[in-house]
């Protein structure tokens, strides 16, 4: 039976701990017991961990041997133009499960001003969602959730392969762009806001050297485009045409 995986909140030598709500879920919902074993991620390394002590809102572990874990082929950064928070949270959760290394919320020209102003306070919730999704999907680390960026700063970020998804692109498919750049170590994917990019935004991407690509002839919702782009990119980066790490089993 596969052991549940947890990412430690505290690490010291061969000991680690979960604290707060993180620990309470393990104590009250999963009814953890002293001596029970779990996979514990400590400083990015997966260990076999044995529960040594359970107290109020805290579970302590003794760390034992390291457990090998599969790494992704390339580092994929997903840059999401901020959209309705419930749907954005879903996209963050699924992108985490699929293995993206970093998620960057973007403020574009057509981003709702109220959502943009509330996004700074929302970032901590997004980090909790990504942490939970990382544990559920047996990742060694959750993705970095960056502070929201305005578009002009985002377009200037350096990267080996930088791709902007555009509904106006008629010729170049995302699949073909990634397939012809399989040796890169880092990929940036940018997904536009509801309503799409403005012409001057696309011009800015072009001036900064970004590659424009399409997901196909249909117009997708932002969250659908984000997940489709992530799957296509990671699949093409893998020589075997499969995702770079095993997909998690459905939740029960």
Written in H, E and C, the secondary structure of 90-106 is: HHHHHHHHHCCCEEEEE
- pLDDT of 110-131, one tens digit each? 999 999 999 989 999 999 999 9
Q: How confident is the model at residue 226 (pLDDT cuts 50, 70, 90)?
A: very high
Cβ 101 vs Cβ 142: under 8 Å: no
Distance CA 115, CA 109 (A): 12
What residues contact residue 62 under an 8 Å CB cut-off, 6+ apart? 14, 15, 49, 50, 52
Q: How confident is the model at residue 70 (pLDDT cuts 50, 70, 90)?
A: low
Four-CA torsion 165, 167, 172, 178, nearest 10 degrees: 20
Q: How confident is the model at residue 244 (pLDDT cuts 50, 70, 90)?
A: very low
Helix crossing, 222-237 with 85-98: angle to 10°? 10
What residues contact residue 24 under an 8 Å CB cut-off, 6+ apart? 57
Predicted pLDDT of residue 252: 32
Domains of the chain in sequence order: 5-66 (2.40.240.20), 75-237 (3.40.1280.10)
Q: What is the DSSP letter of 147?
A: P
């Amino acid at each position: 039976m596969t052991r549940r995986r947890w990412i430690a909140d505290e690490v010291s030598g061969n000991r680690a701990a979960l604290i707060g709500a993180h620990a309470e879920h393990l104590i009250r919902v999963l009814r953890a017991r002293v001596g029970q074993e779990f996979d514990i991620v400590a400083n990015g390394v997966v260990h076999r961990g044995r529960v040594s002590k359970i107290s109020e809102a805290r579970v302590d572990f003794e760390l034992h041997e390291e457990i090998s874990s599969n790494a992704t082929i390339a580092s994929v950064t997903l840059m999401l133009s901020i959209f309705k928070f419930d749907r954005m949270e879903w996209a963050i959760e699924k992108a985490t499960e699929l293995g993206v290394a970093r998620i960057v919320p973007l403020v574009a020209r057509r981003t709702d001003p109220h959502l943009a102003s509330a996004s700074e306070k929302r970032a901590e919730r997004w980090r909790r969602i990504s942490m939970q999704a990382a544990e559920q999907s047996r990742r060694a680390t959750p993705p970095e959730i960056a502070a929201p960026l305005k578009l002009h700063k985002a377009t200037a970020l350096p990267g080996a392969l930088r791709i902007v998804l555009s509904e106006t692109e008629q010729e170049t498919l995302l699949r073909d762009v990634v397939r012809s750049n399989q040796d890169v170590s880092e990929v940036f994917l940018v997904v536009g806001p509801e309503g799409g990019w403005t012409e001057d935004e696309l011009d800015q991407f072009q001036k900064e050297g970004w590659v424009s690509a399409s997901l196909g002839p249909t117009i997708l919702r932002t969250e659908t485009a984000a997940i489709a782009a992530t799957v296509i990119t990671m699949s093409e980066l893998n020589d075997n045409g499969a995702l770079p790490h095993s997909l998690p089993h459905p939740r029960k």
